[in-house]
Structure 1
Amino acid sequence: MIDKGYLLGERYRIIDTLGEGGMANVYLAEDIILQRKVAVKILRLDLQNEPQTQARFQREALATSELSHPNIVSVLDVGTDHGLPYMVMEYVDGPDLKEYIRKNSPLDLREVIRIMDQILSAVALAHKHNVIHRDLKPQNILMDKRGNIKIADFGIAVALNQSSITQTNSVMGSVHYMSPEQTRGGLVTKQSDIYSLGIILYELITGTVPFNGDTPVSIALKHAQEPIPSIRKKDKSVPQALENVVLKATAKDPRDRYASAQAMKADLDSSLDPERSDEPVFVPNHGNSDDETIVLSGFKPQKTNSKEPQKEEKAEAEKEPAKKKKSFWQNVKAHKWWWIFSIIAAGLIIFIMIFALSGNDNKPKQVNVPDVTNIAEKAAEDKLEAAGLQVGRIIRRQSDDVKKGYVIATNPTAGNSLDQGKTVNLIVSSGTSMVKVPDVVGDDYDKAAEKLENQGFDVVREDQFSNKIPQGNIISQSIAAGVEVKPTQTTITLVVSRGRAPRHRSNTVTLKDLHNYSLKSAQDYAREHGLTLQINQEYSDDVEKGMIISMDPGPGTKVDRGSTVAIRVSRGPKEEKETTITKNFTVSYVGSATDSSDKTDNDKDEDSSSSKLSENKGDHVQIYIKDDDHSLNNIYRDLYIKRDMSFSIPFSIKNGPGQLRVVRNGETILNEKVTK
């Protein structure tokens, strides 16, 4: 264990312990240079002399540092401190996904898809770099306070080109989320991660893992032999299309799983679409890929409790045919007209064959829907037609992951069996460009929601009473019409009319003063009293962001239930134009700044004490900055370095240009102006 307050690598001050693992311990630390919190993973002291563990630690650092993605924990620095390897990562202040599921289950299905999309996007990038995680589980997935997902712990990740991937009898990972081939120590591929993702999706939907047991071996056997328990038997509200995503991802045979995390994401994103409401249950093509016979310890074949008389009867029965008379066909062959029976029999066989063949001609041939995701629309159409299927509707949808004009998914999805000649709808990417939010106020909810979802928006419904808007039509939308946004990253809340409010003893409401109430409190008040809110947002220097500035009609006004109340909500003070510039630079470590052979004896004597001190501490670096808050006459940073070190310095330059000067061992190595 590292003591609190210890300065690791002369830069990271240990604050607290975040977690202890089999390979390394994780600490919360402060980066004293950039003045921010970080997470530091340090190899355990008792393992620092084990080459295999050190190699695994280095592999995690290498694998993660190569993966730059908003949903993967970033590696900020790697180093050693007195021979002890450490890795500095961004600090995620929030629970892991296991804890989040435990506290919030059951989750809304759209929330499930939102979380899973982030995980799949991150894994897709890792797989693109040929990195297999091998230990995907909710405990290794973190969530920050804004609900953003961060995948961590690539400690047993293996690159596809490394020979260790083919090692057998080496099972690593968490058995609850482990693929059948992993439990057997077999070949681990990208599809092994896909299986783990399917189990995570199962847990997000149901709140539990599919298999439990008294021992890891019993759980592993269930993964290898038993079908995934039906989600829809537990909860009929889960669409079959969504359960099919789980079933396909967790197929026993890797060939039946999704070809990529990207393909799984595309299928998941359309799983709540109305067009897929009648989708049949997914059935794998290859069944169970486990060809090995698993012998359970303690199993013994049953012995037959037969008695001796029974054995004698069996022996007599075996001898009996020899004693019988000739059979019917033996008599026929012995007869002179045996050939007549032969002709009749041959005719019957031919008739039966013709009848069977004609029956098969009338039955439509079954074909499997090919996987056409992430290929161009025309190529996808050609591939479907070559398989004997027709192209149905083309649905355009925004996508951040699939190139414009390429296929996101099909309906029915790849792998489903259809009669030859049936139609398959294509969902095609319309790109990631910003689009204007359409005006759907007053429209029928079902039609408006379908329109928005086809553009890529997530839609959330809220119901309110209204005396003016017919039941089922939209009262308001959370994002105003005409605003340009990215649909795949935007959720629109539609407030839908429940019709006129039921009659109370008093059908009027005396409005209370909502000034300085939060928007949520105002919405709760409106819902309780059958009122409709019209929300307008504007900047305010006086009212806190998210709080109500004013209302119309004003406080104390008597209105009918179902009436509309307009409120102005603060967006906070208007931000000034950005005037902060961040300057990034690296100072190289050069060791001793001067050669002692060039100095006189007197110089050597005078410098002996200071040079020894300098050699002990490393290169002496002094940083001076000039901006609105600092003077070039004062030292901004004063430190010693023993390796190349990167700096990121913020400059506030509202009132003119700034300046940066860096001195190393008494010599100015950088001196430049900083402008907007």
Structure 2
Amino acid sequence: MTTTQGQQRPVGQLVDGRYLIVGKIAEGGMASVYQARDQRLGRQVALKIMHAQLAQGPHAQEYIERFHREARSAAAVSNPHIVPVYDTGTYDGRSYLIMELIQGVTLRQELDSHKTFSVHETLVILTQILEGLAAAHEARVIHRDIKPENIMITRHGQIKITDFGLAKATSQETLSATGMLLGTASYLAPEMIEDNISSPQSDLYSLGIVGWEMLTGHTPFSSANPVTVVFKHVHDDVPTLESVDPRIPHPVSEFIASLVERDPRRRPENGFEALRQIRVVSHQVSPEQGAIRLSPRPATASSSSPSSSPSSLSSPDSSYAPIPATPGRTGKPTIRQVPQKTKPSDLPSFLADSSSGEKTLPAPLPPVSPAEQRAKEENRTKALPQEKPKKKHQARLLILAGILALFMAIAGLTWFLVGPGSYYVLPYSPGASCVTDPASSNQTCSIRGIDFRSYKTTLDQEGIPYHVIYAFDDTIPAGKIVSANHETLGSHINKRHDSLKITVSKGVRMLTIPSDIATATSAHGKKPLETLKKLGFTRIIHHPSQDEYSLTVPRGAVTSIDPKPGSRIKHNAPVTVVLSLGQKDVAMPSIIGLEWSQAQPMLAQARLQVTVKRVYSSDIAKDHVISASAQAGAQLHWNDKVTVTVSLGPLTVTVPDVTGMSYGEAKKKLEDLGFTVTRKTGFGLGDTVIDQSLESGMKVPVDQLDSDKGTIELTTGLFSFGF
């Protein structure tokens, strides 16, 4: 099958020998979605397959990576509010994903149909979205593209988050390696636009815009130009919902405002914290407030819904359609009072009536003029029967009823101000540690040591607001409660003037000994003890008496450390440090006149670098020290350089053997060596030397050649005629 054929007639094709394409569900700018049947497991699935032109285009690798990222991100999170990815692969050269088949509609479709949602409906939907985001954030996954198009509503009313194609791990610093801006203009957080950085708070900002749109029918910043929208997100504060319509409950307006703060540090920390807050808000909204539904403002030429602007600034998916203006509506939001017909089969229970599929509120009465009103009042007065004189016991009953009502009002006010209605009761936890007083047998249980995640569920169920900080602790395991401003279970927390503040353990603080701390020239090695203290080590063992001199390590640097550099240990584990005292001060030893064999160990003990110079000397015996470059007792340091002059003894000349030579030859040879030659005759013939006064091989000092010791007498034959 060719690629073109696969694109034209995918229905009936078997992908990877397993997924039989049944029919087409949707077509997007990046991929097509089909309904398929998993032949192996016998279930219906959704098959999302990339367009061929993207898989083969110049940016193919980028789109393929986005596909793979969607699979990895969805697979990393297990939650009923996130559409799972079952499988991934390549079909006909194009990447595909196998996902859960969702029977329902997108939140965008519902917004296009209903325009606005009631306060109650909005809170229900946002709560389920936050349950999914909380799980994603716990798995260190940021969605980065929360918008109505990526929120699915099943036929049973369950909310599911889809399209993790732009998701990333929280360990990544920026949106993409190239700095490309991804996401939808109307829902982008300011830090994603301005700094190219996303965080869990970025998802919460996008969700806040979604909630704002669900209640008002439009996004806070609308423009036909997405660049204008982006500029407003960065530089303008999102208007509060109460400023749009004062009937929006204050807790709801305040919660949405906290999500859309421009500074991410002022938003909830993550999905878990926002989920806790919205549950508290839901308890604060009355049924009457929950039923409030605003009519959307009319569309204008200068405004458009998010659907009418490109869905992303650099994403390949950019399909949209404008929302038409609604004639006959004013710009002021009002409670909807006209029947709104929907299809019950397509909507969850909180969006459609189960019997008729209509959601109807009372229609307003027609206006009445003052004259007509007076006439009606007169007719009504005439039509009323004349009352009979009241009896005395009726008056007494009214007085008693008034007293009873006043008593009940006072009792209710007392209950709310100082009674059980004025405070929360810190709930009991099965994991709490309790102490029994032997005298009274009363049991006191503490919040300390309780697992926070399980206790958090209890607090949320009780509707008790709380604030959490995380801190390292040496004794309480990670995830357990270290302390609270109310620690005794069963104690009261004033609803108006107090709140529960909990400190949760992060476990024992773990630190790493810098790998370069033993390098004297490194930033950490220059001041090692100060470095360890700044890093948070609390048991640094250093005894100055154990510091040692070193030939190579500068003073104050590390000569040894235990544990070794690079070790990761608890902050309160002992770290033993020995520092260098530098090179030791020494005195030059007295070595003049000593044999070199005696002087050498004395110099070695002083750790001096010695250069030996050997010279002839007639005064100093051989191998004895003649002089040194430093005087005895001079102040030196280890490794200082010293030159020592050692005697080679006197310079000598060796007497040669000249017997057998002619007298002339012998005389010349000896005189060339510096000797003085004399002659005597002996018994013999010829001019040959028959004897010499100094034996051959004898050594004569050079400085003695001019003395008698340098005179050699040669004996020749009696009848010699030589000179």
Instruction: Give the shorter-chain TM-score range.
Output: 0.3 to 0.5
TM-score, normalised relative to structure 1: 0.42
Q: Is the radius of gyration larger for structure 1 or structure 2? A: 2
TM-score, normalised relative to structure 2: 0.39
